[in-house]
Structure 1
């Protein structure tokens, strides 16, 4: 039994379906927001929107008890809070780390869609990049 089957057996189908639709949309949008962080005119909008995306993923996946997704989203949300309150820009290392994070969420999106078990997190994602701008 995969993660989707587990969700369907524990939660109302409509709640699960709505989560999957919103999660998919947020994951699809993530990469372009991350790339926009490198554009000075898009930085503030993108960092705030990314923060909101990870906050929403954390909240919804916590409610549905999808622990790996909730924990990684919380970790990224905390990091984005630091970035948006203490930094006016991000460096290439941070953008690359966020793109790898985005890839992990995309893998999980496929796991959910295909009713697989969630792929184990890449532990390299848990090492924060140097957040100082170059």
Structure 2
């Protein structure tokens, strides 16, 4: 039994279905928002939107007891909170890290679709890059 079957066994189908729909939309929008962080005129809007996305994933995965997703979303949310207080710029190391984070959430999206176990978090994602320019 995979993660989706576990969710459907423990939560109302409508809640699970709504989570999967919203999660899919958030994962699909992450990469564009991350790339937009490199554009000075888009930085503020993109960092706030990314923060909101990870906050929503953290909240929903916490409610649904998807622990790895919840922990990584919380970790990223904290890093984004630090970036929100920065000026309108971001370094390439942080962009690359965020893109790898986005890839991890996309892998989990596939895991959910295929009803398999969640893939393990790549250790390299747990090291926050130097957030300063």
TM bracket, shorter-chain basis: over 0.9
Match of 1:69 in 2: 69
Match of 2:35 in 1: 35
Give the gaps of 5 or more residues in structure 1. none
Q: How many residues were matched structurally?
A: 133
Q: Distance in 1 between matches of 2:28 and 2:86?
A: 27
- TM-score under structure 2 length normalisation: 0.98
Query: What is the Cα deviation at residue 89 of structure 1?
Result: 1.3
Matched ranges for 1:15-30 at <5 A: 15-30=15-30
Q: Which runs of 4+ in 1 moved over 3 A?
A: none
Query: What is the Cα deviation at residue 87 of structure 1?
Result: 3.9
Deviates further, 79-88 or 12-21: 79-88
- TM-score under structure 1 length normalisation: 0.98
| Structure 1 contact 87–132 (Cα < 8 Å) conserved | no
Give the gaps of 5 or more residues in structure 2. none
